[in-house]
Chains A and B, each alone.
Chain A
Amino acid sequence: MSRPTAIVLAAPGTNRDHDVSYALQLAGAAPRIVLLAELVADPGVLRQAQMLVLAGGFSYADALGAGRMWSLELSHGIGDALTGFVAEGKPVIGICNGFQVLTGTGLLPGALGHNASGHFQCEWVRLDAPAGHCIWTHDLDPFECPIAHGEGRYVHSDPAALAAAGQVALRYAGRNPNGSVDDIAGVCDPTGVVLGLMPHPENHVIHRQTARRGMQPSPGLGLALFERGVRYAQER
């Protein structure tokens, strides 16, 4: 099957665009890093792609709040193209800063506030995928990967309704690192094709990246999540 084209969108200050490109490559996609300014200049580029990925980082230094400037640029620059992409049912994923941006544009519900600790945290977490209809996490086994963020505390006014709607895509298992409501690590849109998550599955795609050396490799790789998205893009 041919590799679906995945646009990895990079804004000034995104910095995990190469990491997520590597993960997409392993998962069977053909990733291409595109600068936000280039996409704004030619939104038609988006139409050629099968997947859209918003990478992690500190777009615009997170001035005014994490992802705030990037979501403004997106909404004002390619708002229509983005809405059209989602309406076509093409998979979209926003990781870390990308998640913050997707909530800022209104494509995903809720918001991300400062961690309860008050500062940036880099540590490994275990994630569970609750039953739901997110195409990225449906039937996904628990897996481990790092978090690396200062503003990852998920806030939502009615998390129970979100869960009932099947939009809670990932939960922190065991320790909730940042005070997110209902242990929520990732949410999807009502259609299940747009996923936003704070952790970095792209940093656990080969066993050598496992958190503990010299022991049996941990079973769940973050790669599985990307494989689901790629397969969906191939099969839809």
Chain B
Amino acid sequence: MASGVRLTIRSKGADPRSAGLVADAHALGLTSVTAIDVADIVFFESELPAVHRAELEAVLVHPLLQEATWDVPAHGIETALLPGVTDPAAAAVELAMQTVGLPSVGVATGKHFDVLGHLSTTELASIARRLLANQVIERWALAPIDAHFIDADATADVTVDHVPIRALDDDALQALSRERGLSLDLAELQAIAVHYRGVGREPTDVELETLAQTWSEHCSHKTFRALITTETGDAITPLLRQLRDTTDAIDAPFVRSSFVGNAGIVSYVAGTTIAVKAETHNHPSAIEPFGGSNTGVGGVIRDVMGAAHHPIAITDILCFGPTDLAADDLPEGVLHPRLVESGVIAGVADYGNKIGLPTVAGAVLYDPGYVANPLVYAGCIGVAAETAPLPGPQPGDLVVVIGGRTGRDGLRGATFSSATMDATTGDVAGASVQIGDPIIEKLVIDAMAECHGLYTAVTDCGAGGLSSAVGEMAEGVGADVDVTLAPLKYPGLRPWEIWLSEAQERMVFAVPPAKWQAMHDVCARHGVEATSLGTFTGDGVLRVRAGEVTVLELDTGFLHDGRPQRSMTAQLPTPRRGDADAPVCADPAATLLALLAHPNIASKERVIRRYDHEIRGATVVRPLVGAERDGHADGVVLAAPADEHGLAIGIGVNPWFGLADAEYMARAVVDEAIRNVVAVGADPDRVVLLDNFSWGDPRRPSTLGELVMAVQGCCEAAAAHAAPFVSGKDSLNNEYLGSDGQRHAVPPTLVITAIAHVPQAAHAVTPDLKLPGSVLVQVGDTRVEFAGSHYELLHGDTHGVVPAPVDAAPARYRGLHEALRSGRVLSCHDLSEGGLAVALAEMAIAGRLGVLIDQLPHRDPTAALFSESNARFVCELMPDDLAWFIDCVGEPITVLGEVTGAEFQMPGWSVPLEQLRLAFAGGPE
């Protein structure tokens, strides 16, 4: 920084970031750190006169909250963003300078850290590398660091390379795939080579990258469309086909669209449709937790926008390694689960809170299997007035992109997410990380709300960027676009980079020329950039130009249907089924306390409170409920203030069942998701489901066999409940190739999201106990089913079985719904992890009331208390309502006991309520 200046701004009093950094340093084993002071740096590219400095200080430094210096520090560690990484803070400073009338000058931002404590130079460097700088987007140096400024004078680069492929043999093809990170297999590479031999030329780099993105596992679901054969030679219907067939067979009248487009579309109330979608963003979150989860949320919101719906709520399910993992046990190149957790949660909170959507339903799971491969699922729900489906792009319609600008962020994200990670992934995949800007997306939502009738098709720019968005829209129609028309964050991008960039917050529309001015004006009013890149042609060819130079010319038929179907082999598992003996629990009170303190069961309040779940005023059943609002609800209920009816959202997930029995796991988690919505008052006959699979490498037959059985379980469960799947997504290859040479796969993690109709939102029910003297009943029967249970996670293998599906469940749920709908049931809670004992404890803690239980639902007390059988609930009733309730819901029903004061009394043992609460809340026992 030869001629520039810098302003270092710090908080008066403790900076809120400091405490978290110290705790993180300690967790990394750097316990001699006593304090880390943080300050923000604003770099200016050129010298500023004193009067401008004073004006800038007045704008940037709040005298009550901050102090600042123009001096350059001689000590400390500093970080700055890598070139090409979006710097929204710098953009804000530039805007502020413009607002107050200061001359324009290049701006960049960074951070300054003073690390206190007795630390060696090596330890300091370690803190800088592992904690202070995320090296995927930032670099660090001893103060003072030099800033990079955007080179506004860089010239456009229209270089296009041709990649010789036609003459390559198999080895050379595979070498090419590795070199360019294409993640294509040999058969696919051969198909491309054959295609270009027919065309009579070599592919351009733009074409090759486009094919790799479109044919990636992420975009084309090769495994879910593959021809699968078992080891005994039986053919299996392709997995996606099975799910679609199941939905078709259910033929639910409320499904408007399933498994096509960006989201599933449902209508529970005449005149209104809802769009539902859930996605994963696992690989990006592993290397840059904040940016990964941040853009995962932004991406799934755009999926709902891409279905022409207005987003109303967000869900998130997060899977992390144990946050107390010893630093020595951390695999090479992997971020500590504690940092992953804090970054991911901050990323979800940042996007959801800023875009102004309630983050309502979710789950947080911990397992050693997620250390190297954390999982981040994000879902979104949107609403729209019911209209005729969009006709799709018509020849002559303009190809219009609106929203954020295009930069180098997120190049090759789809191929990256389809590859196995290893110790170097974080280094080489740097450009795959996208940076989110929720405010731009918010403005796009606002603009879209006024664009009805102005477009014939819409989709979001997700994985693969424009290549995938325009490529999909152009299927069968064809399009001709000039990538040099796309607004860029900075000059110098090559055509393939513009075409493939996964820069966030962009939507692509097909706009009839007569509507373009109106659309442009709406966008302009909301401060949203809208640009026409070309036209949909009608000739079925996708043509991309850089000015006059054609850089891509592909038949959309080959692009979308030219990929050879993959053939795969599955080795089906043989899980333990049938009767099993219950384990003997020596100390049920201690077991209950340990279960409540288990990270999977313990309070998630510290996470949930980071998310705004109140905005829109529609969250009728909140994620946190009860007397002190610290109990977990089973599902959430959303109902706009003026509506009588609402929507319930429930989540089912259980990877531990999955390790033992993939099919029954799927049956159990579908049942759990449906239980969760029924428990809060939803109609079990009006439920739709989303499936999201995160799995290991399906090219290993045993891994594929588990996937096959899980899909089969999904289909059986959906059919049994007449609850159709309307959308799904699979994230495979969640594996880490360790420096030990071993592959580490995530446990089979199927997340089921249930979205259901709640006829009367005013009668929604919560699990917190309400009234001393009321009666507690268990609905459903308990079996000895301990495999994958949390009892087993605590006490070791029980040689048990995974909970079996319950044939009576659908009828039971209908009866329970009638009872809940009457408004006479005081509270209701579904039984899941930890069984009856944990469910009762959760109800007691949430209501700050005790229980007196004198009858258990199984002769074996360990099974009664801790088995995790499906299709069960606990309900709290007025004593006079007992006979009515049994009549309504039907046997089996066990009258357990009653609600009391402050003691949790079970047959033969008891625990003070406060002790349970402390265990659940993570306090001392």
Contact = CB atoms under 8 A, between A and B. Distances in A.
Interface of A: 12-13, 15-16, 18-19, 22, 35, 37-38, 57-58, 60-65, 68-69, 72-73, 76, 110-111, 113-115, 117-124, 146, 148, 150, 155-157, 200, 202-206, 208-209, 211-215
Contacts of A208: 620, 639, 641, 761-762
Contacts of A211: 622, 629
Contact of A209 (B11, B91, B356, B641): B641
Contacts of B627: 212
14 contacts: A13-B442, A16-B615, A19-B617, A57-B354, A61-B92, A64-B60, A64-B89, A73-B99, A113-B13, A122-B614, A123-B609, A155-B64, A208-B639, A212-B625
Contacts of B353: 58, 120, 148, 150
Nearest to B622: A211
Contacts of B73: none
Given A61-B88, A123-B629, A202 B617 contact: yes
A65 B65 contact: yes
Q: Interface centre among A110, A117, A212, by most B CB within 10 Å?
A: A212
Contacts of A63: 88-89, 91-93
Contacts of B17: 118
B617 A205 contact: yes
Interface stretch (B206-214, B571-579, B764-772, B880-888): B764-772
B438 interface: yes
A157 B62 CA distance: 14
B664 interface: no
Nearest to B350: A120
A114 B439 contact: no
Contact of A68 (B62, B613, B615): B62
Contacts of B59: 64, 68, 72
A215 B346 CA distance: 34
B116 interface: no
Contact of A113 (B11, B93, B609): B11
A212 B625 CA distance: 7
Nearest to B627: A212
B827 interface: yes
Interface string B817-838: 0000000001100000000000
Contact of A157 (B64, B89, B613): B64
B96 A118 contact: no
Interface string B74-107: 0000000000000011011101100110000000
A122 B96 contact: no
Interface in B681-735: none
Contacts of B914: none
Contacts of B766: 213-214
Contacts of A13: 354, 439, 442
Interface string B258-275: 000000000000000000
Contacts of B761: 208
A155 B92 contact: no
A177 to B, nearest CB: 10
B626 interface: yes
B527 interface: yes
B95 A69 contact: yes
A35 B62 contact: no
A12 B768 CA distance: 40
A72 B66 CA distance: 17
B847 to A, nearest CB: 10
Contacts of A209: 617, 620, 641
Nearest to B624: A123
Contacts of B454: none
A206 B641 contact: yes
**A-B CB proximity, top 7 nearest:** A15-B356, A63-B92, A118-B16, A111-B64, A114-B16, A146-B614, A148-B612
B20 interface: yes
Contact of A111 (B62, B89, B95, B620): B62
Interface residues of B, number: 65
Given A15-B442, A69-B95, A118-B17, A213 B616 contact: no
B626 A212 contact: yes
Contacts, number: 156
A124 B630 CA distance: 11
Given A61-B354, A208-B762, A214-B827, A122 B19 contact: no
B508 to A, nearest CB: 22
B99 A72 contact: yes
Contacts of B355: 15
A205 B641 contact: yes
B100 A72 contact: yes
Given A15-B615, A60-B92, 18 more contacts: A12-B439, A13-B442, A22-B642, A37-B525, A61-B438, A61-B439, A63-B88, A63-B93, A76-B100, A118-B20, A122-B609, A148-B612, A205-B641, A208-B620, A208-B639, A208-B762, A212-B626, A213-B766
A57 B352 CA distance: 11
Interface in B587-623: 608-617, 620-622
A182 B827 CA distance: 39
B99 A76 contact: yes
Interface string B523-545: 00111000000000000000000
Nearest to A200: B614
B293 to A, nearest CB: 15
A157 B65 CA distance: 11
Contacts of A205: 617, 641
Q: Identify the interface centre among A18, A64, A123, A203: most chain B CB within 10 Å of its CB.
A: A64
A64 B92 contact: yes
Most chain A Cβ neighbours within 10 Å, of B96, B614, B826: B614
A154 to B, nearest CB: 10
A149 B713 CA distance: 43
B262 to A, nearest CB: 23
A221 to B, nearest CB: 12
B615 A119 contact: no
Contact of B612 (A69, A115, A122): A122
Contacts of B642: 22
Contact of B349 (A22, A120, A146, A157): A120
A16 B356 contact: yes
A118 B626 CA distance: 26
Contacts of B443: 12
Nearest to B633: A213
A33 to B, nearest CB: 10
Nearest to B528: A12
A57 B64 contact: no
B770 A214 contact: yes
B497 interface: no
Contacts of A35: 525-526
B437 interface: yes
A38 B907 CA distance: 69
A110 B64 CA distance: 8
A180 to B, nearest CB: 13
A83 B497 CA distance: 49
A88 to B, nearest CB: 26
Interface string B407-443: 0000000000000000000000000000001110011
Interface string B328-355: 0000000000000000001001000111
